[in-house]
Amino acid sequence: MSDSKCTGAGGSGLLPEGTGEVGGRTSAEPPRTSPLSPSLPFPGDGYDTPEGVAGPIAGRFPTFCFFAKLIEIIRRNGSQAATGVYSGGDWSQASLDVLRALESCGLRIHTRGMDVISRTDGPCLFIGNHMSTLETFVLPIFIQPRKDVTFVVKQNLLQYPWFKHVLASRDPITVGRLNPREDLTAVLDGGLQRLKNGRSIIIFPQSTRNVALNPEHFNSIGIKLAKRAGVPVIPVALRTDAWGTSHGPIKDLGWIRPDYPVHFAFGEPIYVQGNGKAEHAKVYNFIESYLKEWNISASSSNNGEDTHGHGTHV
């Protein structure tokens, strides 16, 4: 896609310098076959958006420029995934492309605790709060290069044009959110199968996407699955309200707000003992403590903005 106006410093703002179109490959490079990325784009424990990456036009019109880039990323990757040749490395690169597109529009992204992922043996459960669509697109670049991973997602996401092919390639666990008992069985049985096969799982236990963190809406399904599978839990705290929510028919198309910082933090692994109540509290307290540090109140509602509809909650 030609996007000369919505660019970051030094290039398109979509891809890191020196990469090709899909999966970061040049025409001379062979396609990827490994389920993980061949190298770590962020090899350290943390990452912070460097200064000066936002383009002058994208910085002034972040929402328009970002969604123009996002549509092209989804179209390109969806077309590739539809052919049946789409690796974890390709997914990681797509996630990196989205991160770079956000940065080119002025968003500042800060991540801590990535070494925990590398140090934790075997598959695990990533349990986090759920604020916006942003984490669905960006979390893979931090996790997939270190651990093969998938999401728990709503079934209707497999109907989105192009995106459905990318999502299906990751073998997600799908829930309908109409019958809680059926959803519980799908998560526990499907999750156990994937974990036994070595694939980690990202799950957002909140009943809806919301800036606020409420213990009544933060269920223990992830802890139950981790106990059954005998795998550790890595808590994930995130602040992603820089990607707002639309009150129109497509809630994912909200405003992009560069003045809101984006934060991710991964905690030390938690091993479930007994009935799991103590471990569930540890996950919640980890997330709550970071939200307070990032000036998000557990009782806040962000002016009533309740982000229903998309994501990976049960």
DSSP reduced 3-state for 145? coil
205 within some domain: yes
**Range of the structural domain that residue 262 is part of:** 109-307
* Length of the chain in terms of residues written: 314
165 within some domain: yes
Identify whether the C-beta of residue 174 lies closer than 8 Å to the C-beta of residue 189. Answer: no
Q: Would you give the distance in Å from CA 294 to the centre of its chain?
A: 19
115 within some domain: yes
| Cα distance between residue 154 and residue 151, in whole Å | 10
65 within some domain: no
276 within some domain: yes
CATH number of the domain at 179, please. Answer: 3.40.1130.10
Domain count, the chain: 1
Instruction: Render 70-115 in DSSP notation, one character per residue.
Output: HHHHHHHHHHHHHTT---HHHHHHHHHHHHHHHHHTT--EEEE-HH
pLDDT tens digit at each of 314 positions of the chain: 334 456 543 333 333 333 333 333 333 333 333 455 557 899 999 999 999 999 888 889 999 999 999 999 999 999 999 999 999 999 999 999 999 999 999 999 999 999 999 999 999 999 999 999 999 999 999 999 999 999 998 877 777 788 899 999 999 998 877 778 888 999 999 999 999 999 999 999 986 788 989 998 899 999 999 999 999 999 999 999 999 987 766 677 789 999 999 999 999 999 999 999 999 999 999 999 999 999 987 654 443 344 333 333 33
| 75 CB-contact burial (10 Å; exposed 0-12 / middle 13-18 / buried 19+) | middle
